[in-house]
């Protein structure tokens, strides 16, 4: 069985991927909440963004994850809607401006590749949430995997220093397991790189 704490791959450093349009829509409530649950980065995202982190919500719908932002507890840059939602198959939601460091990884977490052992990975990363119950019985849809890969390809064309694609479980292995054992990491990686 796949181990989400192993989920990581690197983007080719010499890539010349043209910026691609992303089928995204701004989630108004999340966007409005972002100032209260995200921080300023130390520098522009073009310089600081070195990683993109894949999460799953452990919930049934976008609204549940957005309510966490509205409560000021955590945040993320995009969310891929669940199978039962109207936006599924159509677009992802942009939930926090990329210029802000969303609060998607615990502050004390560190990773040698991403921030040279320093903490506060949020400053040097972007975060994607994917709606999934995380109960072992809720498969991700093909569209959700494609949509997450599209976001990664979109940011890969935009941020030259972006080098690492990692799971939340990889960054916080004692406390987090997302995006979970059901996430088809190999398939996702192939979609991003091919
Ligand atoms: Zn997570």
How far is ligand 1, taken at its centre, from the CA of residue 77, in Å? 12
**83 pLDDT above the threshold of 90:** yes
Mean pLDDT confidence for 145-162 = 95
**116 pLDDT above the threshold of 80:** no
How far is ligand 1, taken at its centre, from the CA of residue 194, in Å? 26
Question: What does the alpha-carbon distance between residue 62 and residue 47 come to, in Å, rounded to a whole number?
Answer: 30
| Model pLDDT, residue 24 | 98
How far is ligand 1, taken at its centre, from the CA of residue 80, in Å? 13
Contact 146, 189 (CB under 8 A): no
pLDDT above 70 coverage of the chain, percent = 97
How far is ligand 1, taken at its centre, from the CA of residue 133, in Å? 12
In the structure, what pLDDT confidence band is assigned to residue 10 with cuts at 50, 70 and 90?
very high
| Model pLDDT, residue 64 | 97
How far is ligand 1, taken at its centre, from the CA of residue 79, in Å? 12
How far is ligand 1, taken at its centre, from the CA of residue 104, in Å? 6
**117 pLDDT above the threshold of 80:** no
| Model pLDDT, residue 109 | 86
How far is ligand 1, taken at its centre, from the CA of residue 178, in Å? 5
| Mean predicted lDDT score pLDDT of the chain | 94
How far is ligand 1, taken at its centre, from the CA of residue 73, in Å? 13
How far is ligand 1, taken at its centre, from the CA of residue 171, in Å? 9
**Is residue 89 packed enough to be buried (19+ CB in 10 Å), middle (13-18) or exposed (0-12)?**
middle
- What angle separates helix 185-193 from helix 142-158, to the nearest 10 degrees? 40
**119 pLDDT above the threshold of 90:** no
How far is ligand 1, taken at its centre, from the CA of residue 21, in Å? 25
Q: Which spans in the chain are helix H?
A: 28-33, 45-48, 62-70, 112-115, 142-158, 168-171, 185-193
In the structure, what pLDDT confidence band is assigned to residue 103 with cuts at 50, 70 and 90?
very high
| Model pLDDT, residue 118 | 67
In the structure, what pLDDT confidence band is assigned to residue 70 with cuts at 50, 70 and 90?
very high
Mean pLDDT confidence for 129-143 = 95
**22 pLDDT above the threshold of 90:** yes
Mean pLDDT confidence for 114-136 = 87
**191 pLDDT above the threshold of 90:** yes
| Model pLDDT, residue 42 | 85
How far is ligand 1, taken at its centre, from the CA of residue 47, in Å? 24
Which domains are delineated in the chain?
A: 4-12+20-177 (3.40.80.10)
pLDDT above 90 coverage of the chain, percent = 80
């Amino acid at each position: 069985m796949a181990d989400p704490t192993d989920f990581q791959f690197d983007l080719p450093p010499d890539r010349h991927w043209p910026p691609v349009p992303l089928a995204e829509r701004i989630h108004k409530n999340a966007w409005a909440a972002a100032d209260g649950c995200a921080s300023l980065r130390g520098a522009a995202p073009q310089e600081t963004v070195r990683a993109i982190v894949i999460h799953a919500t452990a919930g049934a719908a976008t609204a549940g994850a957005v309510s966490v932002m509205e409560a000021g507890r955590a945040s993320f840059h995009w969310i891929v809607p669940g199978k039962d939602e109207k936006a599924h198959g159509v677009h992802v939601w942009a939930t926090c401006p990329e210029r802000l460091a969303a609060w998607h990884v615990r502050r004390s977490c560190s990773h040698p590749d991403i921030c040279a052992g320093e903490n506060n990975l949020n400053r040097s990363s972007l975060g994607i949430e994917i709606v999934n119950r995380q109960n072992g019985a809720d498969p991700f849809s093909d569209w959700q995997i494609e949509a997450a890969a599209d976001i990664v390809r979109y940011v890969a064309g935009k941020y030259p220093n972006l080098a690492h694609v990692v799971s939340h479980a990889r960054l916080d292995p004692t406390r987090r397991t997302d995006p979970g054992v059901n996430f088809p990491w190999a398939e996702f990686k192939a979609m991003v790189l091919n």
